[in-house]
């Protein structure tokens, strides 16, 4: 996802699948190389010790990239709200690709869709790209 000069947002690509741990890590690393070292990478750390270990493995796999585990707060529906406002106002565009049909279908039925991972990922990316840094006074 990237912000356009006109203030709107564009989703450039989506990788989607059900993979073994090794295959998932290979795809993540391949995508990171394709995106380049200047792209910030965020990935969700699931709760619990298994999620922490998985995030640590992904961090190690992405050595040399600006990669950060994210611990999201709230459920997927709550986290998707700021993103869904932009989707509903037509401010999110999609770059053509073979992923679009399933992506749109999941969005169309969210939060009642069988799968919610693409909405969750897109809303997470949107959240990171729109985060405001707060200055602290000491």
What pLDDT digit, counting tens, does each position of 96-134 carry?
A: 999 999 999 999 999 999 999 999 999 999 999 998 665
122 membership: H or E segment, kind and range: helix 117-130
Residue 83 lies in a domain: yes
Residue 135 lies in a domain: no
**Domain around 69:** 2-130
Residue 22 lies in a domain: yes
Q: From CA 62, how far away is CA 107, in angstroms rounded?
A: 29
What's the total number of domains in the chain?
Answer: 1
Residue 136 lies in a domain: no
- Residue 136 has what pLDDT? 57
Span 98-108, pLDDT tens digits: 999 999 999 99
Give the CA angle between residues 106, 44, 39 to the nearest 5°.
Answer: 95
State the average pLDDT for the chain: 93
Residue 102 lies in a domain: yes
2 cis-preceded (ω within 30 degrees of 0): no
For the cut 90, the answer to whether the pLDDT of residue 35 exceeds it is yes
pTM: 0.88
Which stretches does DSSP call E strand in 12-137? Answer: 41-44, 67-70, 92-94
């Amino acid at each position: 996802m990237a912000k356009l000069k006109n203030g709107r947002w564009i989703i450039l690509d989506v990788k989607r699948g059900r993979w073994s741990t090794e295959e998932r890590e290979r795809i993540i690393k391949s995508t990171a190389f394709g995106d380049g070292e200047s792209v910030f990478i965020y990935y969700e750390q699931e709760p619990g010790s298994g999620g922490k270990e998985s995030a640590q493995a992904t961090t190690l796999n992405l050595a040399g990239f600006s990669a950060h585990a994210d611990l999201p707060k709230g459920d997927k529906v709550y986290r998707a709200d700021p993103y869904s406002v932009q989707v509903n106002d037509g401010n999110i565009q999609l770059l053509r690709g073979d992923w679009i049909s399933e992506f749109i279908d999941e969005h169309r039925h969210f939060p009642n869709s069988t799968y919610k991972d693409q909405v969750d990922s897109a809303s997470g990316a949107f959240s990171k790209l729109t985060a405001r840094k707060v200055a602290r006074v000491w």
